[in-house]
Structure 1
């Protein structure tokens, strides 16, 4: 009986530890592993479906070019769609898409900037769309990939290029993370719509909200898995720390009803940001809904911000 009791005593924590590891591995694969399709939008966004597909149809009718990075490195090959402006322009916006999306899912923003006279570059991030990569980096590796896209834009439009970095959700966090890099002078402004503070805080928040699970021990284990798979801990992936080094004018947009990336993350990012900064908290907008509520009003705010920092 004593022997069997010791086995039971030891077996329980071992079984619990094993179950936690298995659950953490499943969580990592669910959140970080690429999917080769775009998941359906949330139920509250279905009312915008017809408008969304009309923007996609518009994008597919444009005389677009396919750009690539890392051509000779299949494991790191990246693709983007480039839509030139109606008239020759030195202004280009690089649009960063959201989680498990791709460049095409940003067709509505491409349409808006195209009508404002911009060339538009729509990259597929690592682990998304037509780009290589088995895992999603949540903006961390992408921030450096986008330096390559910036170089291609400068080559395409000349040294007098004026470049805007724009992103929504994960894309918003991506351009926030880019703000801390050594950006060339051609990058004139950044617009971040509903970006998170860090992937560690976002994962912990969603674990609690969606799955009723605590941060510990799951987030540290997932971070360790990511260190093994991708080469960095989740604590490295921080918009806040990158924004502290920002020197470009930056415009933060966020829906005040966002429960996916909560508004306290907006305030934390805004407070951290160096350089000239502005903020627009959109009334009654949920996550990534600010454009859809009133596209004309959204364009008006974006245009007004950019006119302060780009040449006539």
Structure 2
């Protein structure tokens, strides 16, 4: 009998070590910044791109650098482009997973055309910002609000701010909406946000590796809590948006295979503030703008002009 318990203990020990090892592996895949095999390379700018003019404008636009220091001591970097004519309106624009501010040029051009100053931060762990982990929006949510406070400090108390993001940046902006708000933040607009980090990691584990949620996702979440400071489950955009009181505009593509559009629908249903949602037929992940560039700007402008003057 003693040998049985020794053998059983050894088997359990091997399984625990194996699962922890798997959790460490997927922690590095998901949460440590770096090249990700499952992400497509950033395409070179081509004249055939529906958003070529917007992206080219951003490349040529004169930018100034803004910096912010997070509560945990990281130095963050952002590009700022003032509007063509002096204005109190500013859009804070957040990029997606393993992206960077330079890839948000088309959105910056869109807001600039609508008469906004634009501020494009690099998330912690991305681009020119410091950080050893990916915050998945949860660690970034308060960073976005710090950027908004810097807008007010530099552009004045009468600033009117729109908080905009795509994908991970969209989820982070929804998460930010549940925090204490500046009065200068007039509205949020988000393209393809996920409901929670746990939901998105679970979805991608199935999509990319055909793996179930248990036990992989909870183990990886525990590793993330130890290494990065948060559990996947606590990083919930649904819980945050239930506390939101600011107007919010949701957009997503019906052909999104990376953050399925049912997540945006769930967030829309959980929100109790003034809101609108646009489901773009046939649009893949964050491709709604390139699929319908004119309509995208029109929809967003019609919503925002109700709250930003």
TM superposition score normalised by structure 2: 0.92
Question: Is 1:91 matched with 2:99?
Answer: no
Query: Do 2:252 and 2:264's aligned partners in 1 also have CA atoms closer than 8 Å?
Result: yes
Range that drifts further, 256-265 or 186-195: 256-265
**CA distance in 1 between partners of 2:259 and 2:45 (Å):** 20
**CA distance in 1 between partners of 2:175 and 2:236 (Å):** 7
- CA shift for structure 1 position 219: 1.0
**What does 1:120-159 align with in structure 2 at a 5 Å threshold?**
120-159=118-157
Match for residue 256 of structure 1? 254
Query: Do 1:38 and 1:101's aligned partners in 2 also have CA atoms closer than 8 Å?
Result: no
- 1:66–1:39 distance in 2 versus 1, CA, 3 Å: farther
- CA shift for structure 1 position 40: 8.9
**Per-residue deviation, residues 234-264 of structure 1 (Å, max 9, x unmatched):** 1110000000011111011010111211122
Match for residue 285 of structure 2? 287
**CA distance in 1 between partners of 2:162 and 2:37 (Å):** 28
Query: Do 1:56 and 1:104's aligned partners in 2 also have CA atoms closer than 8 Å?
Result: no
- CA shift for structure 1 position 232: 2.1
TM superposition score normalised by structure 1: 0.91
**Per-residue deviation, residues 202-257 of structure 1 (Å, max 9, x unmatched):** 11111112101111111111111111112221111000000001111101101011
Unaligned runs of 5+ in 1: none
**Per-residue deviation, residues 184-216 of structure 1 (Å, max 9, x unmatched):** 111011001100000001111111121011111
**CA distance in 2 between partners of 1:269 and 1:28 (Å):** 26
Query: Do 2:59 and 2:105's aligned partners in 1 also have CA atoms closer than 8 Å?
Result: no
- 1:14–1:41 distance in 2 versus 1, CA, 3 Å: closer
Aligned residues: 307
**CA distance in 2 between partners of 1:145 and 1:26 (Å):** 27
Match for residue 297 of structure 1? 295
> Paired residue for 2:276, among 267, 275, 278?
278
Query: Do 1:63 and 1:83's aligned partners in 2 also have CA atoms closer than 8 Å?
Result: yes
Unaligned runs of 5+ in 2: none
**What does 1:30-109 align with in structure 2 at a 5 Å threshold?**
30-35=29-34, 42=40, 50=47, 51=49, 55-70=54-69, 75-109=73-107
**What does 1:121-270 align with in structure 2 at a 5 Å threshold?**
121-270=119-268
- 1:46–1:149 distance in 2 versus 1, CA, 3 Å: closer
